[in-house]
Amino acid sequence: MVSATVAGYIVGIIGNITSLCLFLFPLPTFYKIIKDKVVKEFNLELHLAIVLNCMLWIFYGMPFVHPDSVLIVTINIIGLVIELAYLAIFVFFSDFRQKAKESGCLSRG
């Protein structure tokens, strides 16, 4: 018989593997951006939301908020690094006008 703690870690590891696959899912898109050297119609908002999501889960997993949540913290740190790399690629290959629109520096008029 497996204890509840061991079963929780097994389910947590399966969840982390699934989450890692979800974080790596946009990899072909970013490979295409790097290959073509242009962002085209790809959207940044989704990746900004994922960065915020990872940061909130990292905070939630801190020992002073929720003890014994190492799996939550580790996968979200990995996801945060992956998503920040995606954002860096997006910003690097976007043109200036699009960068200005995204940062709110350029008005619509």
Task: List, for residues 71-108, the tens digit of each pLDDT value.
Answer: 899 999 999 999 999 999 988 888 766 666 666 665 55
Phi, psi for 57 (deg, rounded to 5) = -70, -35
Where are the chain's structural domains? 4-102
CATH code reported for the domain at 4-102: 1.20.1280.290
DSSP letter string, 56-76: HHHHHHSTTTSSS-HHHHHHH
Mean pLDDT score of the chain: 87
Decide: 87 and 44 in contact? Cβ < 8 Å: yes
So what's the pLDDT on residue 48?
93
With beta carbons less than 8 A apart as the criterion, state whether 12 and 71 touch. yes
